[in-house]
Amino acid sequence: MKAIVAATLLLNIMPALSSVVFLLSSESNGGGLSKTWVVDRWKCQNLDSDIDKQASWTFVASGLANSYLLYE
């Protein structure tokens, strides 16, 4: 029982502190200009100037992301 409570607490606390790793690319299937991007899952962030307004595709490589949106 203690292990279940500890695991539940850990899973509820850790996502709030975790980062998400995205793979961004300017073309489908990782083609074109590509970059790995680490973000805080709770904040909107601007992309670097080299890929800003060129990223059309993104994939979650590591971490949990409920949803994400690329927009201008």
Query: What DSSP designation does 51 have?
Result: T
- Condensed to tens digits (0 to 9), the pLDDT of residues 14-68 reads 555 567 777 777 777 777 877 777 777 677 666 666 666 666 656 666 555 655 5
Distances (CA, A) of 27 to 23, 41, 67, 69: 12, 24, 20, 16
**Per-residue confidence (pLDDT) for residue 33, from 0 to 100:** 78
Whether 71 shows a pLDDT value over 60: the answer reads no
Q: How far apart are CA 39 and CA 54, in angstroms?
A: 18
Whether 72 shows a pLDDT value over 60: the answer reads no
